[in-house]
Structures are given as structure tokens and as C-alpha cells.
Amino acid sequence: MSNALQRLIDLLPKSPEFVGTITSEDHPKYKVLVVDGTGLVLCTSSTKYSVGTRVFVSDQEIKRTAPSGAVVQIEV
């Protein structure tokens, strides 16, 4: 029987995800302006996105599109 706490910890993401807006597009390289004010991040993606698209970014890689609306940070 495995440890339930360890299984729960394994479900948590290893690196944080940020929401940002693509400001420059040169597929597969993109510049993303992160919403929390950290600035521009150079990211890569296998999927083509256009300028102005909101996306989730983790480890300098665009993961998927992000819904529009307010961003709330939750500390765990």
C-alpha cells in the first residue's frame, strides 16, 4: 500500500504556471508578458499562437491558452 500523502504531493505541479499575453510571435519562439508583473519571458511552443493570445507558461514553455478574466494568486 502506497503512502496517501506522497500520492497527493505527486499530483501537485512541480513548477509554477503563470498567465501571460503573447507580445511577439516568431514560431516556435514567442515573447510573453507575464500578468504578475515579472516582465517578458522568452518561451517556445509546438503550437502556433498569435499576438495578443493569453496563455499559460511553465518552465519557459507555453502549455495552453488561458481563459480571459481576472488572475488570482493563491498561496499554498
Domain 15-65: give its CATH superfamily. Answer: Nucleic acid-binding proteins (2.40.50.140)
Report pTM: 0.74
pLDDT in tens, 24-68: 999 999 999 998 777 899 999 999 999 999 999 999 999 999 998
| pLDDT at residue 16 tops 60 | yes
DSSP β-bridge partners for residue 40: 33
Confidence of residue 12 (pLDDT cuts 50, 70, 90): confident
Residue 70, pLDDT above cutoff 70? yes
Residue boundaries of the structural domains of the chain = 15-65
Burial of 62 (0-12, 13-18, 19+ CB in 10 A): buried
